[in-house]
Chain A
Amino acid sequence: MTTQIHTNNPDVQDIVRLESVSKIYQQGQLEVRAVDNISLEIDTGDFCALCGPSGSGKTTVLNMIGGLDVPSSGRVWLENRDLASLSRSDVAQIRRDRIGFVFQAYNLIPVMTAYENAEFVLKLQGVAEKECHERVMRVLQEVGLEGLEHRRPDEMSGGQQQRVAIARAMVTCPAIVLADEPTANVDSHTADALLDLMQKLNREEGVTFLFSTHDQRVMDRARRLIRLHDGRIESDEASH
């Protein structure tokens, strides 16, 4: 039985905090600053987007918040835990228990059905079978996939696959959902439906969403826009 890592401290307002974070890549002799001395906080319940042109550092910031990448300097805090001070397995555990990921594409495990993909992380957590079933069915219903539980990814549309990915991200009741270009590979009608869903989850479940995007539709719906340019924050403002 694995142990979930979670913090129920009501005093935690900042889900995420970045302190003077930089990320430098070496390309031969050249040094590329993908992220350059960024500091920001993401509050609980935020529905915000990191936006900017390609190469501005959006995905890199998202990956560092998700513990997938390590900053060259500075610190990343998730629920008051410094990710740099944790071991690889602890970081993996945090990703499993506290973070939901939605990627642009290739989200799902091809050999698993929608149900199995959604329950995958619960199985990693060691959740009992009965509770697994209840939670998965509830979340699939929430994302509008009731009746499609037994379909495999190659039997679903792009929009349905993204819904499964959202279901998987949500089923563990994460502290934050990190979505990297979630609408990039779907048509506009599907994109709107997905954004409606995520807004609904944010509103009703209080889940924090952070997008990396250059999709105007996402930016229009975000309550906070953090614009990046050449790895730096150009602006950080409430959008409405």
Chain B
Amino acid sequence: MNLAQMAWRNVWRRKRRTLITAFSIGFGVLLAATFTGMAVYMYGNMIDASAATGFGHVTIEPAGYNRTPTLDKRLSDSARLRQEVLVEPGVKAAMVRIMGQAMFASAAKSVGGMFLAIDPQQESAEYNLLIRSMVKGRVFPNRTGTGIVVGRKLADKLNLRIGKKLVYTTTDTNGEIVSEIARVSGMFATGVSEIDTGMVLLPIDRVRKVLAYAPDEATLLATMLLDQRKSDKLRQRLEDRVGGAGREVLSWRQTQADLAGMITIDGSSNYISQFLVALLIAAGVLNTLLMSVLERSREFGVMMAIGMSSRRLFRLVMVESIWLALIGLTIGIALTAPVYWYLDIYGLDFSSMLGGEDYSVSGVLVDPVMRIRLHAESITTILSIVFGLALLSGIYPAWRAGHIPPIESLRTI
């Protein structure tokens, strides 16, 4: 019989204790996978929603625009830059945009806010949260018209309906105050109060004319990726290719610093909680293995007496901890799979708990239906950490098994 077989049989000598310990490991896997997966889903969702609000996952901007977003800073040659970006692997879309501050006035009153000037041919519901959230009317059909899409709450404030006019006033590149009339073609309701009360969509060429921009000028090129986790890598690649010459290439971490900070803090506290749970589980595994070793002191004494080395005994107990870890991981996967399936397909709907229409955190849209998303590397990390902790827990009992002098073990009855 080899060590692995012997260890396997030893693990099952106390079935109930082994199963209890294995289930605790399994629940550890379930907790880690569920918390991590739900956090990954929520963060990814928020990052994608924030990216779809204006800046994208990666943004090319005029130098200094992120610190002071004034309309005198602009990118030239935006069409060519867009083509350069679109050939990068992993890029889903790239949109040339102008973003700036303006006053919006109707016959009723005036309100300050932001405009996002777009080319409707480049945009879609998938990449633009405002377009995705349309509730009335439609987006203007081209870049040159006089259409405007407003947030529903802004429309309520200014007493606007589809077809009614409003005036927007801003500052052009020469520092002059300029105004333009636009006719409401559509309304959106994102659920984020700051966006619904303060943002509008405008045709980009009409805005260029108002601001005295050249035909190819813009304030930002927003890039949407297939996988937002690759933002930093793409940022670096674009920085190397098109950076400099008065341009900055920024990831969402820089353009959405508040969101990045919130994710970092929330993620850290999530990991701390999981670490504490893991410690508890490791303590349970240590207790089980130590009890098992102490119960078998006499048996180990006999084994050493007949010639088994302490090193081999150490390996025997370590293999037992490996088996225990593997059984625990198997139970963990079996417990996690149906939970993952349910959360992936149906999720947990917190709409009623959130109440009202505003499903946002720090101005970023939050999906009220909590789902789960686990990437391959997360699964590998979770399983590796749980396995590693179980093994670490076995080291002291294994050392203890091999280091009690046989004469003392043999005295144990």
Q: Residues on A close to B: CB < 8 A? A: 63, 66, 68-69, 88-89, 92-93, 95-97, 100-101, 103, 106-107, 109-112, 116, 119-121, 123-125, 168-169
By a CB distance below 8 angstroms, the chain B residues around A168 are 306
23 A/B residue pairs, CB under 8 Å, sorted by A:
A63-B407, A66-B305, A68-B410, A89-B309, A92-B310, A95-B306, A95-B307, A96-B307, A97-B307, A100-B306, A101-B305, A103-B302, A106-B298, A106-B299, A109-B302, A109-B303, A111-B10, A112-B1, A112-B9, A116-B1, A120-B303, A120-B306, A123-B2
> Which residue, of B298, B310, B410, B413, has the highest number of chain A Cβ atoms within 10 A?
B410
Question: Is B139 positioned at the interface, with any CB of A under 8 Å from its CB?
Answer: no
Question: Is B312 positioned at the interface, with any CB of A under 8 Å from its CB?
Answer: yes
Interface string of B383-413 (1 = CB under 8 A from A): 0000000000000000000000111001001
Question: Is B13 positioned at the interface, with any CB of A under 8 Å from its CB?
Answer: yes
**Which listed residue, A106, A116, A121, touches B306 by the CB 8 Å rule?**
A121
- Which are the 9 A-B pairs with shortest beta-carbon distances? A96-B307, A111-B9, A95-B307, A69-B407, A68-B407, A92-B309, A116-B1, A68-B406, A101-B305
On whether A96 and B13 interact (CB within 8 A), knowing A63-B407, A106-B299, A116-B1, the answer reads no
Indicate if the CB atoms of B299 and A109 lie closer than 8 Å: yes
Indicate if the CB atoms of A92 and B307 lie closer than 8 Å: yes
Minimum distance in angstroms from A86 CB to a CB of chain B: 13
A101 to B303, CA, bound (A): 10
**Which listed residue, B13, B305, B310, touches A68 by the CB 8 Å rule?**
B305
Question: Is B96 positioned at the interface, with any CB of A under 8 Å from its CB?
Answer: no
Interface string of B317-336 (1 = CB under 8 A from A): 00000000000000000000
On whether A124 and B312 interact (CB within 8 A), knowing A111-B6, A111-B9, the answer reads yes
Question: Is B58 positioned at the interface, with any CB of A under 8 Å from its CB?
Answer: no
By a CB distance below 8 angstroms, the chain A residues around B202 are none
Question: Is B308 positioned at the interface, with any CB of A under 8 Å from its CB?
Answer: yes
Which residue of chain B has its CB nearest to the CB of A96? B307
Minimum distance in angstroms from B69 CB to a CB of chain A: 72
Interface string of B288-315 (1 = CB under 8 A from A): 0000000000110011111111111000
Which residue of chain A has its CB nearest to the CB of B305? A101
**Which bracket fits the contact residues of B?**
20 to 34
Indicate if the CB atoms of B312 and A110 lie closer than 8 Å: no
On whether A103 and B307 interact (CB within 8 A), knowing A109-B299, A124-B312, the answer reads no
Minimum distance in angstroms from B391 CB to a CB of chain A: 22
Indicate if the CB atoms of B410 and A110 lie closer than 8 Å: no
Which residue of chain B has its CB nearest to the CB of A152? B9
A176 to B310, CA, bound (A): 23
**Which listed residue, B6, B303, B307, touches A93 by the CB 8 Å rule?**
B307
**Which listed residue, A106, A107, A116, A124, touches B307 by the CB 8 Å rule?**
A124
By a CB distance below 8 angstroms, the chain A residues around B310 are 88, 92
Indicate if the CB atoms of A101 and B6 lie closer than 8 Å: no
By a CB distance below 8 angstroms, the chain B residues around A68 are 305, 405-407, 410
Minimum distance in angstroms from B397 CB to a CB of chain A: 17
Indicate if the CB atoms of B304 and A92 lie closer than 8 Å: yes
Indicate if the CB atoms of A124 and B407 lie closer than 8 Å: no
By a CB distance below 8 angstroms, the chain B residues around A110 are 13, 299
A103 to B405, CA, bound (A): 17
Minimum distance in angstroms from B185 CB to a CB of chain A: 79
A125 to B312, CA, bound (A): 12
* Inter-chain pairs besides A93-B309, A103-B302, 7 sampled, C-beta below 8 Å: A68-B410, A95-B306, A101-B305, A106-B299, A112-B9, A124-B308, A124-B312
**Which listed residue, A63, A66, A97, A123, touches B1 by the CB 8 Å rule?**
A123
**Which listed residue, B6, B304, B307, B312, touches A112 by the CB 8 Å rule?**
B6
A100 to B307, CA, bound (A): 9
Indicate if the CB atoms of A96 and B6 lie closer than 8 Å: no
Minimum distance in angstroms from B358 CB to a CB of chain A: 63
Interface string of B1-28 (1 = CB under 8 A from A): 1100010011001000000000000000
A127 to B16, CA, bound (A): 36
A88 to B405, CA, bound (A): 10
Minimum distance in angstroms from B412 CB to a CB of chain A: 9
> Which residue, of B305, B308, B311, has the highest number of chain A Cβ atoms within 10 A?
B305
**Which listed residue, A92, A97, A106, A123, touches B302 by the CB 8 Å rule?**
A106
Which residue of chain B has its CB nearest to the CB of A94? B307
By a CB distance below 8 angstroms, the chain B residues around A121 are 306-307
Which residue of chain A has its CB nearest to the CB of B409? A68
By a CB distance below 8 angstroms, the chain B residues around A169 are 306
Minimum distance in angstroms from A59 CB to a CB of chain B: 9
